[in-house]
Structure 1
Amino acid sequence: MRVVLADDERMVRTALRVILDAEAGIEVVGEAATGAEAVSVVRALRPDVVLMDVRMPQIDGIRATEQILATLADPPRIVVVTTFENDAYVYDALRAGAAGFLLKRADPDELVGAVRLVARSDSLLFPAAVRGLAAEHARRSPAPPPWAARLTDREGDVLRLMAKGMSNTEMSECLGVGPATVKTHVAAVLAKTGSRDRTQAVIAAYESGFITPG
């Protein structure tokens, strides 16, 4: 698993590198100190995961995330690394396409678990925190989006379970269907909501009012 670190503080990058390089199957292949440098490094190295600081010089992590996702055919999974959990910048980064976020004060096990989880992409990273951000910062649509009516009842159930952070296996057990069926439903939800991944689908669900925070 190839990882790029983007943070304007060298000490933060060094600490992250030490933790991740000590893990089997994870390799830090590059670093960036600005948002513009992050875009360039990611384009050159094509990592699997990027740990992206929100606030950096030149362009911030939000714009860097947008540029990476817009210009690469098979973009990496981007995790926003932030000091403040309930931050509008973090929510904007999720809306821009980040797969999740991680607090800088997270312990090493949380960091490694987050990188492995987003690379696997079969469940939502820190779903309770995402729900909290949605409750605080979601920009509600004035009317239900067209995709809401196109979801089947079962697909709606799957979207709600995705918002709870359930993996495919957990959803399979909850709904009493096979994992392959769940995978098909997840793919349909992503397609109908126009979402890149589960995080984007859940954000769309909150902003449309399909799921109500709390």
Structure 2
Amino acid sequence: MCDDSEVFRFGLRTVLRSAPDLVLVAEAPDSSRALALADEHVPHVALVGHDTPGNGALQLVRELSTGGVKVILLSETGTRADLVAALTAGACGFYVRSVSPARLVEAVRAVVRGETRLDEHLLNNLDEPTVPATGERPTPETRLTARQQAVAALVAQGLTNSEIAASLHLSQATVKGHITVVLRRLGLRDRTQLAIHVNRGRPGGRPPPRVGPAPPMTV
């Protein structure tokens, strides 16, 4: 896990050690130390604070997920823009820091199984289109709602329609409809082109590998 707050890390340490199937292998106060420890211990999951010092939390998410580590990002307040950015960076989970211990432990288990887990409270506020800053020219992306952007980010991670539906609490028909709209607005032909489009800014241009569970789960 990685967070600059010693108090918050202590809380996470206590929560993780209460779960008999989870093993805490390392903790770091900044992104550079986190990457070094990830190389050394190769954990299944990394818990990353949104305000991580160093190169920044999103860059840390990109680098960890590209290396095969499943990342859950923990945000101070949590906005729909933060959630979409986290998914686009490759995060498999996104929660506000006030998430309950039981829900966080279950999220760790779920992402190791290959699932994506998101803060349910944030999912209710994803249907408004992104508003560009004053003076900025609208782009195809800003004409997408935050939910459509979230769907696109999950497509880029290699999730199926049923997995996306479960993650965003939608029907598969709704997911399919969102993908159709996204493809049309971005001028893309299929979900492969969509994945390439979303992953263009990722290191190596590839989505994070989806690895299966290997007990015990290391964090």
TM-score, normalised relative to structure 1: 0.61
Match of 1:24 in 2: 20
d(CA) in 2 for partners of 1:90 and 1:15?
A: 23
> Contact between 1:80 and 1:100, CA under 8 Å: does it hold in 2?
yes
Q: Which amino acid aligns with 2:28?
A: A
| CA deviation profile, 1:68-99 (whole Å, cap 9, x unmatched) | 234x2xx1110001111215344322211111
Residues 143 and 62 of structure 1: CA distance in aligned 2, closer, same or farther (over 3 Å): closer
Q: Deviations over 1:14-47 (max 9, x none)?
A: 1111111111110110001011211111111100
Write the letter of the residue equivalent to 2:90: G
1:110 maps to which residue? 103
* Equivalent residue number for residue 42 of structure 2: 46
In the other structure, the counterpart of 1:177 is none
Q: Which runs of 5+ in 2 are unaligned?
A: 132-138, 145-151, 153-159, 173-189, 200-206, 211-219
Q: Is the counterpart of residue 62 in structure 1 residue 62 in structure 2?
A: no
Counterpart residue identity of residue 9, structure 1:
S
* One-letter code aligned to 2:108: V
Cα RMSD, aligned residues only:
3.5
User: How many equivalent residue pairs?
Assistant: 159
2:166 — aligned with what? 165
Name whichever structure is richer in helix by fraction. Answer: 1
Q: How far off is 1:120 after superposition?
A: 1.1
Alpha carbons of structure 1 residues 191 and 22: separation in structure 2 relative to 1, 3 Å: farther
Could you tell me the TM-score, scaled by structure 2's length? 0.60
Question: Which AA in structure 2 matches 1:28?
Answer: L
Q: Are residue 98 (structure 1) and residue 99 (structure 2) matched?
A: no
- CA contact 1:125–1:165 (8 Å) conserved in 2: no
Instruction: Extract unaligned runs of 5+ from structure 1.
Output: 149-157, 172-188, 200-214
Percent identity between the two aligned chains: 21
Aligned mates of 1:69, 1:92 — CA distance in 2: 14
What is the CA–CA distance in structure 1 between the aligned matches of 2:121 and 2:164, rounded to whole Å?
Answer: 9
CA drift of 1:132 comes to 3.3
Equivalent residue runs for 1:168-207 within 5 Å: 193-194=194-195, 196=207
Which structure has more relative contact order (CA 8 Å, sep 6+)? It is: 2
